[in-house]
A and B are shown apart, each in its own frame.
Chain A
Amino acid sequence: MLSAQNLALERGGTRVVDSLSATLVPGQITAIVGPNGAGKSSLLLGLAGLLAPAQGRVTLEDAALASLHPRTRAQAIGYLPQTPDIAWDVAVESLVALGRLPWRDRGTAAVEAALAALALEPLRRRPVSQLSGGERARVLLARVLAGQPRWILADEPLAALDLAHQLSLIAHLRACARLGQGVVVVVHDLGIAMNHADRVLALKGGQLIADGPPQTALAPEVIAQGWGVSARWLGQPGAQALVAGQS
């Protein structure tokens, strides 16, 4: 279990997340949503142990993240930053193999499994500069999977993708959750959160304004409070679409 207790985070002296408590369970997809500047990415950094709490703490199976050795933490929590730029034009398989750095082994089996899970075997020798946006996103996720973390924390992994690639990446994340990994994603698209998440944390101004299954945590009242938009959901559960207009 990955748990934030009365967590406050600061960046450059500004408080970006305040008195937030939530306990995340593995085997689920948890979506973090909120308007711009709500503190979603900071919360994800805090949960990944990459931003030290200004107050409160983050625990992994009852051990404070801050007290863990960075390598122990890295073996347990994989973090996928928002659209990371790749400094060197390496081949796909070299990039995916970087995911083994926390283990300091070659982990060939894990790297092969990650390549296979994301259908990257045909691209293994291709330089990353020659990948499309969708392929790139899969490669970056495969890097995280190669580390076989118990938790996958991804910051807007779907942002640059078209519809088909979004759905295929979500399917991969769902497969991870089914295998018992905890999946936490920051998403902008509330429809994706509604239809694909098991649990939604809605943030506004660094505070948690809703936490629960998407049907309740993304209810029209919450959207009105968080985004200042009057909206309603259309369609059947699992295939819902948001219709919104200025209130």
Chain B
Amino acid sequence: MNRASIVFASLLALILPLSLLAGRVWIVPDVTANGWLILAELRLPRAVLAIIIGAGLGAAGAAMQGYLRNPLADPGLFGIAPMAALGAVASFWLGAFIPPAFAAWSLPLLALAGAGLGMALLALIAGRTTSDAAAGAGGGIALFTLAGLMLASLAGALTALAITLAPNPFALSEIVLWLNGALTDRSWREVWLAGPLVAAGIAVLMLTARSLDALTLGEDAARSMGLNPARLLLLLVVGIGLTVGAGVAVAGIIGFVGLVVPHLVRPLTDRLPSSLIGPSALAGACLVLAADSIVRILPLVTELRLGIALSLIGAPFFLWLLLRMRKGLL
């Protein structure tokens, strides 16, 4: 366990109890009426879900930046999140056709199906680009990333289309609200759905660590050290698909975590991608848990959406990052 892991694990251990007690009502167990019930059935699942989603996004961001060899990369570049959102939006449309018994599951399952479809498309494209690169056509990583961006913008356009053609105003506001991710009113059900998928995704991303390190010196040097580009890309598609897809399925789109978190972790490590994935998972968990606790205690009439809150933090940070990089400080 490296220094960054210890720092962020301790931070998480500090934030978690605070997050459980904080909210519209400050809970003092044994004193507050129904205190234990609120803790066990409302706040604990929400906190656990925040940890799961943040961990997935943090690990995905670290892996993505390692793969693209670029500190400005974000797991969103693969287009998994927009594909999952498209699946979720489809569920608002298909609501009438879904048997009532499955109604509660339709949104997350369709979102997962969207993410799965995105992963399958990416895997197909990956097969093409890596074989071209081995044949000397070049541009493997850049080409693949562009393909991911196309997928993202296509899914985004289809989602926008579905919104403008919303069957009724209620559905419209539901969709828009849902797209700005949140953890409000989530239960253990979502935890059991997303937890295993995100855990599997992080485990898969861990397998890419050595290959990502090799990429530090560029694609040719990495291949000369035994990197198998096709295997790496497949692992990344599966790992990012699982972490991001499962996150979107239960919480909507939460941006900027994957971009920002590796930057918080990097100074505490030797800066190699392999040293970043684990600590970024922990730091992502801290960030999402802290942000979700803050939106919960802000004295607003309706709770600020978590996705909006994180983008509010993330966008200025991104700008600051760009300015610092211009000065060559990174």
Q: Which of B129-167 contact A (CB under 8 A)?
A: 134-138
> Given A87-B216, A90-B271, A98-B214, are A11 and B136 also a contact pair (CB < 8 Å)?
yes
Q: Does A167 contact B (CB under 8 A)?
A: no
B272 to A94, Cβ gap below 8 A? yes
* CA–CA, A87 and B69, complex, Å: 5
Min C-beta distance of A77 to chain B, whole Å: 7
Is A12 an interface residue when CB atoms closer than 8 A count as contact?
A: yes
Q: Does B185 contact A (CB under 8 A)?
A: no
Known contacts A48-B224, A81-B217; is A88 also within 8 Å of B135 by CB? Answer: no
A106 at the interface (CB under 8 A from B): no
A84 sits at the interface (CB 8 A) = yes
Q: Cβ of B273 < 8 Å from any Cβ of A? A: yes
On chain A, the residues within 8 Å of B228 by CB distance are 70
Measured CB to CB, the nearest residue on chain B to A51 is B136
B223 within 8 A of A: yes
In the bound complex, do residue B273 and residue A88 qualify as a contact, i.e. CB atoms below 8 Å apart?
Answer: yes
On whether the beta carbons of B138 and A12 are closer than 8 Å, the reply is: yes
Chain A residues whose CB sits within 8 angstroms of the CB of B217 once the complex forms: 81, 84, 86-87, 95, 98, 140, 143
The number of chain B residues with a CB under 8 A from chain A is 28
B129 vs chain A, min Cβ distance (A): 14
Q: Is the CB of A50 within 8 A of B225?
A: no
> Quick one: closest A residue to B216, CB to CB?
A87
Question: What's the minimum C-beta distance from B263 to chain A, rounded to whole angstroms?
Answer: 12
Residues 71-94 of chain A, each 1 if its beta carbon lies under 8 Å from chain B, else 0 = 101110111110011111111001
Tell me, in angstroms, the Cα distance from A50 to B227 when the chains sit together.
11
CB distance from A71 to the nearest CB of B (A): 4
Compute how far the CA of A74 lies from the CA of B225 in the bound complex, rounded to whole angstroms: 5
Within 8 A of A (CB), among B260-298: 266, 270-273
Residues of B within 8 A of A42 (CB): 136
A9-B136, A90-B216 known; A147-B225 Cβ under 8 A: yes
Q: Given the complex, which residues of A lie within 8 Å of B74, measured CB to CB?
A: none
What are the residues of chain B within 8 A of A91 when measuring CB–CB? 270
Residues of chain B within 8 A (CB-CB) of A13 are 137
Are A81's CB and B213's CB within 8 A?
A: no
Identify which of residues 223-249 in chain B touch chain A, using a CB-to-CB cut-off of 8 Å: 223-228
Indicate if the CB atoms of A79 and B221 lie closer than 8 Å.
yes
Verify if B17 is at the interface (C-beta below 8 Å from A).
no
Q: Which of B203-224 contact A (CB under 8 A)?
A: 210, 213-218, 220-221, 223-224
Across-interface contacts of A45 in B (CB, < 8 A) = 220
- 0 or 1 for each of A141-160: is its CB under 8 Å from B? (1 = yes): 00100010000000000000
Per-residue CB proximity of A50-78 to B under 8 Å, as 1/0? 11100000000000000000110111011
Task: Provide the residues of chain A in CB contact with B138, threshold 8 Å.
Answer: 11-12
Residue numbers in B under 8 Å from A79 (CB-CB):
220-221, 224
From B136, B221, B223, residue with most partner A Cβ within 10 Å:
B136
Residue among B69, B136, B210, B270 making CB contact with A12, cutoff 8 Å? B136
Q: Inside 8 A of B213's CB, which chain A residues have their CB? A: 98, 101
Indicate if the CB atoms of B224 and A78 lie closer than 8 Å.
yes
Question: Are B223 and A50 within 8 A (Cβ)?
Answer: yes
Flag A35-48 by CB within 8 Å of B: 1 or 0 each.
00000001001001
B136 touches A74 (CB 8 A): no
**Bound CA–CA A182/B83 (angstroms):** 51
Given contacts A81-B221, A101-B213, contact A90 B227 (CB under 8 A): no
A/B interface sample: 13 pairs, CB < 8 A: A11-B138, A42-B136, A45-B220, A70-B226, A71-B226, A73-B226, A87-B69, A89-B330, A99-B225, A101-B213, A101-B214, A101-B225, A147-B225
Identify 6 new A-B residue pairs, CB closer than 8 A, beyond the known A73-B226, A99-B225.
Answer: A13-B137, A79-B221, A85-B218, A98-B216, A101-B226, A140-B217
Closest 5 CB pairs of A and B: A79-B224, A74-B226, A87-B69, A11-B136, A71-B226
